[in-house]
Chain A
Amino acid sequence: MSEFIIDVKNLDKQYMKQKAVSDATFQIKEGMITGLIGPNGAGKTTIMKMLGGLVLPTKGSIKIYGANDENGLAHARSRMSFMIETPYAKEKLTARENLEKQRLQKGIPDKKRIDEVLEMVGLSDTGKKSVKNFSLGMRQRLGIANALMTKPEIMVLDEPVNGLDPEGIVEIRELLLKLNREEHITILISSHILSELSLLCTDYLFINHGKILQAISAEELKKQCHEYYHINTDNNSLATAILQEKLGVTEIEVERDGSIRLYEQLDNIYKVSKTLFENGVVPLKLNMNEANLEQYYINMVGEENGKHNKGDELSDKKR
C-alpha cells in the first residue's frame, strides 16, 4: 500500500492551443496540509478539478487511496470533499435547506450533522434568509459547511477564505488546523493570502504556467526563508572547514552547487570574512538572505517567468 493518499504523475491538460497543466507530478501524504501556490492562471484550479473528476486529464495518472480506475476514484472521492471556485449553493434555499439537500444527495442519515456544521462555520443564526441575500463571506462559510457534511478524510479547498473579513479568516484557519489535528483530515488548499498559508501549511506546492516548480515542506522552506549568509569562495570546502574549526559554527550547509549557507554569526560578517581571508580563502560572494514565503514565491515565479518569456522569445524567433 502506497504511503501517499494522493499520487499524481505526469499530469497534462491541453485545451485547444493552451496547455493548462504540464507534466505535473506530486504526492500528498495523510495528515499533510498542503498549500498550492501560484499566480492566477497557473493551473491550480485545473489540478483540483482533475482530482475531483470534473476535468478529464489529457495525459498522466491520478491515484487516490491507491485507486486509478473510474470506480475506484469515484469511491475515493466519496471520502473527500471539495470546494472549488464558487461555493455550492441553491440561491433560493436557506443555508439549512441547502445542507438538507446535500445530506440527501450524499446519503447522510444523521440530520443533526446539519446543525453541527452550521455551528462550526458560524452560520447557525441565518434562519430563513435565502442564500441570494448572503454576503460573499457567508457563501464561503456555507461552502465550507457543505464540505464538512460528510466528515471527509481529505479536503480540497480552492481559496476558501476569499471574501472573508480578518476575523473570519482567523476562524477558518483555526477550524482547519483543528480538523487536521483532531480528526486527521488531510487538506489541499490554494490561496493568494500567503501569510495565512504560512500559518497553516505543513507543505507547499509551487505552480506556474501549468508546471509544478517545487514541492517543499514547511520546515525546509523555513530554513530557506531563514536569514542566512550565502557565501561563495574560491575554495568552498576549505571555507566550510575553516568556519567550523575557527569560529565553531554548527549551523552551516553546503548547497548542491557547493556554495555555503551560514545561519550563524549573522551580526559578525566582518569576523567571518576576515577569518576566511586570513586562512587563505578568498570570499567571492557574501550576501544576506532574508526571505519569507511571499518573497520566496515572488523570487521563484519571477525566475520562472523569466525562463518562460525566454522560451516564448525563442519560439517567436524560430517562427
Chain B
Amino acid sequence: MGNIIKAMNYQIKNDKVTYFGVLLSVFLSCSNLVGCDLSEVTGGSFISMAGDMTALLPMFVILILSVRICGWDYTDKTINYEILAGHHRRDVYFARAVLAIVWSVLICLVGMLVPVFIFTAINGWGDTMEFKGMMLRFALSFFPMLRITSQYILLVFLTRNVYISWGAGYMATMFSMMINMMIKEFLSFEFTWHFSSSNLMKIFTFNQSLGYVNNEDVVICQTSLESSFVAGTIVASLVISLICIGFGYIFFKKSDIS
C-alpha cells in the first residue's frame, strides 16, 4: 500500500485539479468579504463573517477532490494496472480512500485557515471570539468532513465514473441539506443534521451578541458547543464513515474491473 500511496501522491502533486481545489477553497472562504473594509477584519471576525461559506466550501472542495482522486484512475486504467502488478485490492482501495480523506480535509482546512492566519497576522485575532474555542470547532469539523469524503468515496466506487459521481454527489448533497432544513423548520428536529452536510453549517454558525470592548461596540460570538451536539457529530460521522468505506470496499473487492 505504501508504494501505491507514494505513486498517487506524485500524481496528485502533478495534477492541476489539486491546485484548483486550493484556489477554490481560499476563494470560497473569502467570498463573503466582498464589500467589507479589510483593514477592520481580524482573524476572529473573518470566521464570523465567513459563516455558511465555511460549510459549503468543504462540500464542494471535497466533492471535486475525493472523486477525482478515487475515480480518475478508473478512466485511465491506473487501478487495473495496480491490480495486475500484484497489489491486493484491499491496498488499492484503502490507499485511495486514505489519500482522498487526507488531501480533501487538508485542502479544506488550508482554504479556511490561511485567510484566518493572514488576517490575524495583519489585524490581530480581535475580540469577536475565543481562539481556543474556534480551534476546537475547526478540530470538530474534521469529523463531518471525514463523513462527507467517505460518502463520496462510496459513490465513486459504485459508479466508477468521475462525472456521474460529481453530478450525483452535488445533487445528493443539496437534496439532503434541503430535506434537513425542512425537517428542522416543520418538525423542530435536528438529529438528522448529524447525517448530512448541514452538520458543518451548524459548527460554523455562531450565537452572536453585541459587546462593548475598549470603548467600541463589537460582535461577540459564542464558541462553545453543546456536548450532545459534539458527541452526536463525532459518533454519527465515525459510524457513517465506517459503513461507507466498508461497503465501498466490499463492492470493489467482489466486482470485475473492466
Contact = CB atoms under 8 A, between A and B. Distances in A.
B86 interface: yes
A53 B83 contact: yes
Nearest to A79: B86
Contacts of B4: 105
B76 interface: yes
Contacts of A71: 88
Contacts of B214: none
A95 to B, nearest CB: 14
A70 interface: yes
B187 interface: no
B132 interface: no
Interface in B36-77: 76-77
A91 interface: yes
Interface stretch (B7-15, B197-205, B228-236): B7-15
B5 to A, nearest CB: 9
21 contacts: A49-B257, A53-B83, A54-B83, A55-B257, A70-B88, A74-B86, A82-B84, A84-B80, A84-B84, A85-B77, A90-B78, A93-B14, A100-B10, A101-B10, A101-B11, A104-B3, A104-B7, A105-B7, A105-B82, A107-B3, A146-B81
A77 B84 contact: yes
B184 interface: no
A105 B88 CA distance: 13
Interface of A: 49, 52-56, 70-71, 74-82, 84-86, 88-93, 97, 100-102, 104-107, 146, 150
B256 A101 contact: no
A-B pairs, top 3 by smallest CB distance, nearest first, are: A78-B86, A105-B7, A77-B86
A105 B87 CA distance: 9
B65 to A, nearest CB: 17
A91 B30 CA distance: 34
Contacts of B82: 105
Contacts of A85: 77
A74 B76 contact: no
Nearest to A82: B84
A187 B243 CA distance: 43
Contacts of B85: 77-78, 81, 105-106, 150
Given A104-B3, A104-B10, A106-B3, A52 B76 contact: no
Contacts of B7: 101-102, 104-105
A54 B78 contact: no
Nearest to B85: A106
Contacts of B80: 54, 84, 88
B243 to A, nearest CB: 24
A107 B6 CA distance: 9
Contacts of B256: 49, 54-56
A275 to B, nearest CB: 59
A80 B86 contact: yes
B6 A76 contact: no
A97 B10 CA distance: 10
A186 B123 CA distance: 69
Nearest to A78: B86
B84 A86 contact: no
A80 B85 CA distance: 7
A247 B77 CA distance: 63
A97 B87 contact: no
Contacts of A53: 83-84, 89
A106 B82 CA distance: 8
A28 to B, nearest CB: 17
A104 B11 CA distance: 11
Nearest to B89: A53
B160 to A, nearest CB: 13
Contacts of B84: 52-54, 77, 80-82, 84
Contacts of A150: 85
B86 A105 contact: no
A97 B81 CA distance: 16
Contacts of B88: 70-71, 74
A76 B76 contact: no
Contacts of B257: 49, 54-55
A70 B81 CA distance: 17
Given A88-B76, A88-B77, A101-B10, A76 B86 contact: yes
A104 B14 CA distance: 14
Contacts of A49: 256-257
B86 A75 contact: yes
Contacts of A75: 86
Contact of B76 (A84, A89, A102): A89
